Structure 1
Amino acid sequence: MGEHLGVNLTDLSAMEHLISNGPLTPSDLASRLEVSTAASTHIVDRLERAGHVSRERDAEDRRKVLVVPAEASVARVIQQLTPMLQSLDAVVAGLSEADRAVVERFLGQVIDAYVAALEHPSGT
C-alpha cells in the first residue's frame, strides 16, 4: 500500500490513522504514532508535499489546525483495498455457521491477546 501511495511505512501509518479516525491535530497524530510532535510535523510536511493531506483550521476552534486526508488519496486506498475485501467476503460466505463461530472465537482471542500485550508490555 505504501508503494501505491509513494510513502514510507511511518507515513502510511499516519495515513491509516487519518483515514480511520478522520482529521486529527498534529499532536494527536504524534500520540497515535508514538513519535514526538517535531517528528509528526515532518511526517505531515512530507504527506502534504505529496498531496495526501492538507492542514486546515478547525471549524469549531480556529486556533486548532487539523491534518485532513486528501479525498483522492482516500479513494486510492479504498480502490486498492476493495479487491482484497471482496475476496475475504467470498471466503467468509463459503464458511458454515459452525466454522464462522470457530473463526470468530479465534479472532476474538487473538484481539484480546494483542490488547493485553499492548496494555501490559513486557509484563509491566
Structure 2
Amino acid sequence: MSRTKARAVLLQELENAMRKSSAQGAMFAKAVAEHAGISSSDMDCMDFINMEGRMTAGRLAELTGLTTGAITGVIDRMEKAGFVRRERDESDRRKVFIALVPERLAEIGGLYELLQRAMQRQTDAYTDAELKLISRYATESYRSILDATNQLKAKIEEKPKKKARRD
C-alpha cells in the first residue's frame, strides 16, 4: 500500500472513530437533557449561554441559527425548568438578557464529571504515528463515553427525578 493510500485509510479510520465519539457525546448530552427535563436542543442552547455568558435572545438566535420565534420557545422552556432567567438591561429596560441560574446548572454539572474524566487525555493530529495514536484515542474515547453514558443512566435510575421548580 502506498504512503498516500495508507494515510488516506488512516485518516478515514480517524474520522470514523471521531464521529463515533461525537455521536456518543451527543447521546450522553441527550441523557443529561432528559434528566434535566429539557430537550437536547434546549441543552445545546443552554451550553451556548454557558460558554458565552448572558446574552440577548437575538444573540442566541445568531449563534444557533434558530429563528427568534424558536428561540423564544427555547427560552420559555428553559425558564420554566428553572435553568435561565430573563434580566432587564440596567441602562435600556427594553433590552432583555438571558442568564443561567447557577444553582440549577450546578445540579446537572455534576453529571458531566463522568464525561470529563473520560475526556481528560485528548490531543490533536500530527504525523502518521500521531494519527495512529489519535485514532486509538478516539476509539477509546468512544468506549469511555459509552461507558459514562451507561453509568449516567444507571445513576439517574437510582435516584428519583427532581421536578422543575415552579415560580
1:36 aligns with 2:67: yes
1:21 aligns with 2:31: no
1:59 aligns with 2:79: no
1:104 aligns with 2:124: yes
Q: Is the 8 A contact 2:88 2:97 kept in 1?
A: yes
Question: Please, which runs of 5 or more residues in structure 2 have no aligned partner?
Answer: 1-31, 132-167
Structure 1 runs of 4+ aligned residues shifted over 2 Å read 58-63, 86-89
- CA shift digits 1:5-54 (9 cap, x unpaired): 11112211111111111111011111112111111111111111111111
TM, length-normalised to structure 2:
0.51
Range 76-85 or range 6-15, more displaced: 76-85
Which amino acid is 1:104 matched to?
D
TM, length-normalised to structure 1:
0.67
Question: Please, which runs of 5 or more residues in structure 1 have no aligned partner?
Answer: 93-99, 110-124
Note the C-alpha offset of 1:60: 4.6
Which amino acid is 1:35 matched to?
L
Which amino acid is 1:84 matched to?
L
Among 74, 83, 93, which residue is 2:114 paired with?
Answer: 83
**Higher RCO (C-alpha under 8 Å, 6+ residues apart):** 2
Percent of counterpart pairs with the same letter? 29
Whole-Å separation in 1 of the counterparts to 2:111 and 2:90: 31
Instruction: Determine which structure has more spread, i.e. the larger CA radius of gyration.
Output: 2
1:68 aligns with 2:99: yes
Whole-Å separation in 2 of the counterparts to 1:30 and 1:52: 18
Q: Number of paired residues? A: 96
Q: Is the 8 A contact 1:5 1:73 kept in 2?
A: no
